Amino acid sequence: MEQNPLNKYSQISTIVIAVILIIGFLWFAYSQVWTPYQTRLSQERENKAFTEAATKRQENKASLDKCYADASAASQQRKIVNCTTKPDDSAYFYCSAEFITSNNEIERVDRSNCEIKYPLN
């Protein structure tokens, strides 16, 4: 009769030890395998998002620079059409004050339109 309770306690302690070992293995697998995998996957997602944002910003910067150049060229072309040059210096223009004001305003508006069309943020 005494062996029966000992066998029962022996089986219970074996089950408790097995459960502890299984929980320990699961904790080890989670902490050594799953957590680093999740961290690496999260870092890769962040890197991809950062790279895409940087690429988009570079594309917008190139487009913005081209747009600025186009606005400056258009302003220069308006000066060529509407102003006269000094005979010995082709870059110096004689223009009316009204034209200079309106041309500068048009160029400023063109540049602000470029910034709206190609934002850098």
Instruction: Provide Rg for the chain, Cα atoms.
Output: 37
Phi, psi angles (nearest 5°) of residue 91: -90, -15
For 118, how many CA atoms within 13 A lie in the half-sphere containing its CB? 16
pLDDT value at residue 6: 64
pLDDT value at residue 5: 64
pLDDT tens by residue, 20-71: 999 999 999 888 988 888 999 999 999 999 999 999 999 999 999 999 999 9
pLDDT value at residue 88: 74
pTM for the whole thing? 0.60
Task: Using the predicted structure, report yes or no on whether residue 90 has a pLDDT greater than 70.
Answer: no
